[in-house]
Amino acid sequence: MNFLKAFLLTIFLTVVYYIPQSILVLLYKHSNLNVNLFNPNFELVWSLSSIIAYFLVFHFFWKPKPDYSTILEIKGLNLDLIPYLILVVIGYGFVGQPFWDCNRLIEYYQNSNIEPYTGGLRKLNLQYAYSLIRALVIAPILEEVFFRKFLFLKLLEKYKLFVAIIISSICFSAIHFETPNNLIPSLIFGVISCLIFFKTKNISYSILLHFLNNLCITLFNMFGESYFNWLDNLKFNFVYWTLFVLGILTIILGMKKITTTNKVKK
């Protein structure tokens, strides 16, 4: 697979993903109903759209056809790697924070003002339950299988490792265009996940990494007000940027431990 086909497949995936959502929005609009993009019906459509889009790509473009019964490679999973996956997720959180804070960083350095953290505990209801299923189950499995096991491996047949990683990670980042501050963190995550998949030869570790990362984000969005207020009080000082450097070192350490532990297990 060349880079153009990889980008076109990503565009196709994105278009198919948004078609059912667009239809639903139009139906609501022309039926004079109140359009609330965060109601349970929309969350259910978001989830089903993901499943439909990915499986259409798998069915028509993945040659030879994959064996879905063994695609997750759960057999022989080394649970000793889980603490190091958690370590990588923690490091990634520190590395990604300045990018997620990009707008607040600009505001602070221009006006010496920091917008307060506005997150908090969310009530568990049907809409939020759908959202959790999408974030913790559907996204980790489908995105990792598509961008790592399919796209990355196909690119690896034509390009060197570094190039294949970058192209597949750019494609992965591109599907997060709705949240611009998350584009670079998504690119970084894509690189990390590709490396883990390449080193372990098992997509389940990348899926676990993705699940743990989304779980961490979910928990911090629900219960992390004290942590984010502490970050705000740092006012982007030396400690704040030390956490960024510490995050890089933590990722490197976690990746090395994953590689060595996996070799010992084999």
Q: How crowded is the C-beta side of 97, counted as CA atoms within 13 Å? A: 24
Exposure class string for 73-85: b at 16+ Cβ within 10 A, else e: eeeebbeebeebb
**Rounded to whole angstroms, what are the CA distances from 262 to 79, 184, 193, 197, 205?**
10, 28, 15, 11, 11
CA 83 to chain centre: 19
Count CB neighbours of 241 within 10 A: 12
Over the chain (266 residues), the average pLDDT of each successive run of 10 is: 93 90 74 59 80 92 83 80 95 95 84 68 69 91 95 96 97 91 95 96 95 93 84 89 96 93 62
Distance (Å, whole) CA 2 – CA 6 = 6
Distance (Å, whole) CA 148 – CA 140 = 11
Q: Is residue 82 part of a domain?
A: yes
At 54 the three-state DSSP class reads helix
Q: Is residue 180 part of a domain?
A: yes
Q: Is residue 98 part of a domain?
A: yes
Q: Is residue 51 part of a domain?
A: no
- Which residues are CB-contacts of 138 (< 8 A; sequence separation ≥ 6)? 47, 50, 51
Question: For position 202, what pLDDT does the model report?
Answer: 92
Question: For position 229, what pLDDT does the model report?
Answer: 86
Question: For position 5, what pLDDT does the model report?
Answer: 94
Per the structure, the complete domain to which residue 184 belongs is given by 69-265
Give, for 34, the enclosing helix (H) or strand (E): none
Tokens standing for residue 122: 């969310």
Q: Is residue 33 part of a domain?
A: no
The number of folded domains in the chain is: 1
Q: DSSP class of residue 115?
A: P
Question: For position 35, what pLDDT does the model report?
Answer: 54
Q: Is residue 128 part of a domain?
A: yes
Q: Is residue 173 part of a domain?
A: yes
Q: Tell the burial category of 183 from Cβ atoms under 10 Å away from its Cβ (0-12, 13-18, 19+).
A: middle
Question: For position 118, what pLDDT does the model report?
Answer: 63
Q: Is residue 27 part of a domain?
A: no
pTM: 0.89
